[in-house]
C-alpha cells in the first residue's frame, strides 16, 4: 500500500533552521528514517516537500486517488489554511498531521491548527519520531 508523506514550507531547511526548536536532523535524514520504518511496515512511501499551498493541495488530491493514507506536516499553513483543511476533508483516505515541535507550548498563534480538525489524528512535539509513529498508526488504521 502506498503512503504519501508531505512536508510543508521551510521544512527543506531542517538541520540549519532554528535547531534549538527543530533539532539538527536534515529533511533527508528524516526521510531516510521514514523510508526505513515504511519498509518494515510493508508500505511503499513517497516523501514530498512543497513550499506553496497549491502544491500541497494538489499533492493531497493525488494521494486521495493513489494512496491508502497520508501524513502531512503543513508547517505554518496548519495555523490558517482553510484550503488545505478542505483538501484533507475532501479526500477519503486517513491523514495524520505531524509537527516536529510541540506547537501547544509555543507562540499563541501556533496553538491553533485549522488543518488538524480535518485529520484522523495529530502527533506533535516528538521530533522525527512523530513521522514513524504516524506510519505505525496508519498501519493499524488501514488493517482494520
Among 24, 39, 54, 76, binds ligand DQA (CB under 6 A): 76
Catalytic residue among 7, 22, 77, 131: 22
- Is 50 a residue of the active site? no
Q: Is 12 in the site for ligand DQA (CB under 6 A)?
A: no
Residue from 47, 59, 99, 135 that binds ligand DQA (CB under 6 A)? 99
Residue matched to cell numbers 516528538? 126
Q: What are the helix (H) ranges across 23-121? A: 27-41, 53-66, 82-90
What grid cell was written down for 64? 486521495
Least distance (Å) from ligand DQA to the CB of residue 77?
8
Query: 62 vs 110, which CB is nearer to ligand DQA?
Result: 110
CA–CA separation, 74 and 40 (whole Å)? 25
Active site residue 22: yes
Binding-site member from 47, 63, 75, 131 for ligand DQA (CB under 6 A):
75
User: Which region among 32-40, 58-66, 81-89, 99-107 touches ligand DQA (by CB under 6 A)?
Assistant: 99-107
**Residue 45's Cα: distance from chain center in Å?**
13
Which H or E run includes 48? Answer: strand 44-49
Rounded CA separation 102/105 (Å): 6
Is 46 a binding residue for ligand DQA by CB under 6 A? The answer is: no
From the list 88, 64, 87, 72, the residue with the least C-alpha distance to 8 is: 72
| Chain residues in the site for ligand DQA (CB under 6 A) | 10, 73, 75-76, 78, 99-101, 103, 110
Amino acid at each position: 500500500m502506498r503512503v504519501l508523506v508531505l512536508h510543508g514550507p521551510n521544512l527543506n531547511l531542517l538541520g540549519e533552521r532554528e535547531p534549538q526548536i527543530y533539532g539538527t536532523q536534515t529533511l533527508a535524514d528524516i526521510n531516510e528514517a521514514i523510508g526505513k520504518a515504511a519498509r518494515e511496515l510493508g508500505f511503499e512511501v513517497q516523501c514530498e516537500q512543497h513550499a506553496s499551498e497549491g502544491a500541497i493541495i494538489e499533492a493531497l488530491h493525488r494521494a486521495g486517488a493513489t494512496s491508502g493514507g497520508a501524513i502531512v506536516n503543513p508547517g505554518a499553513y496548519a495555523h490558517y489554511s482553510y484550503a488545505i483543511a478542505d483538501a484533507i476533508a475532501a479526500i477519503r483516505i486517513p491523514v495524520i498531521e505531524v509537527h516536529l515541535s510541540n506547537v501547544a507550548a509555543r507562540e499563541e498563534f501556533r496553538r491553533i491548527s485549522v488543518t488538524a480538525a480535518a485529520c484522523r489524528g495529530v502527533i506533535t512535539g516528538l521530533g522525527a519520531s512523530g513521522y514513524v509513529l504516524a506510519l505505525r498508526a496508519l498501519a493499524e488504521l488501514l488493517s482494520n
